[in-house]
Amino acid sequence: MFEQILYIDFMFHLQENKFDSALIIFVKNACLGKVKSRLAISVGDRLALEVYQLLSHYTALVTHGLEMDKFVYYSDYIEREDCWTDAVFEKKRQANIDNLGVKMASAFQELYELSYAKMIIIGSDCLLLSEEILQEAMDELSQNQVVIGPSEDGGYYLMGINFEKINTNYKDVLFELFHHKSWSHAAVLEEAWMACEKMSLQYFLLPMLTDVDTFQDLQRSMDLLSQSESKHALLMTEKLMKLQDLWQ
């Protein structure tokens, strides 16, 4: 009986998939003292929280209109009244595991089992991300097995996988890319492309961007964002400039 219920739920979701591609967005619940700890060293917990909320809002804006199904994975609990509108983003909770890589692998596997062929995963802390880059990532997955968006700190802001193009067991790919990895160090990107090389996976590198982890990252991102002509960038620049008056 339990297996029948799972099968019915699985089939129902298959009918609800609007696209064969999916965007996974990993977010932290916006709690004081729990986000952007390295940024908080310079600007304090309150301003770090406000910056994180703006980063999330910006990510919601640039992903809103993408033609792919969108899933927001919360770190601790699902929130309803936030920038991730229920009509656009399906909300889930990250796996209750300490390791970030295992959480990401679990999200990929969950959506793979819901029939999605191409998936990309991002966080919510990159002010330079754009609809164009995200669309490029999905377009490149039509030709490549893996797409990676490198960040200036040696990590990556995006990872994409085309499961239809993978010739080996998909669980082996997820294991090599995400399991037994340490995070927040300068060799994260190198470990990712080395895993691709090990499995002979064809991969594509997107433009290098800056994640906002430190005060210096924030200032650099704001400088670059102010040069953009997109309406989302202009709106976010204005909001961040107001906050800047508080931390100077």
Where are the domains positioned within the chain? 2-247
Sheet holding 89-93, edge to edge: 89-93, 69-74, 21-27, 118-122, 156-162, 146-150, 203-205
Show the tokens assigned to 50: 């406000």
First to last CA, the chain: 62
Overall pTM surpassing 0.85 (yes/no): yes
Q: What is the second-level CATH architecture of the domain 2-247?
A: Alpha-Beta Complex (3.90)
pLDDT at 167: 81
CB 66 within 8 Å of CB 45 = no
Segments of the chain with pLDDT less than 50: 1-15
Q: Which has the closest alpha carbon to 22: 151, 115, 129?
A: 115
pLDDT at 248: 60
**Phi, psi (deg, nearest 5) at residue 9:** -65, -40
Q: Which has the closest alpha carbon to 204: 165, 170, 176, 153?
A: 165
pLDDT at 66: 97
82: Cβ–Cβ under 8 A, 6 or more apart, which residues? 30, 56
Q: Which has the closest alpha carbon to 139: 66, 78, 79, 189?
A: 66
CB 213 within 8 Å of CB 38 = yes
Q: At what angle do helices 100-112 and 170-178 cross, to 10 degrees?
A: 160
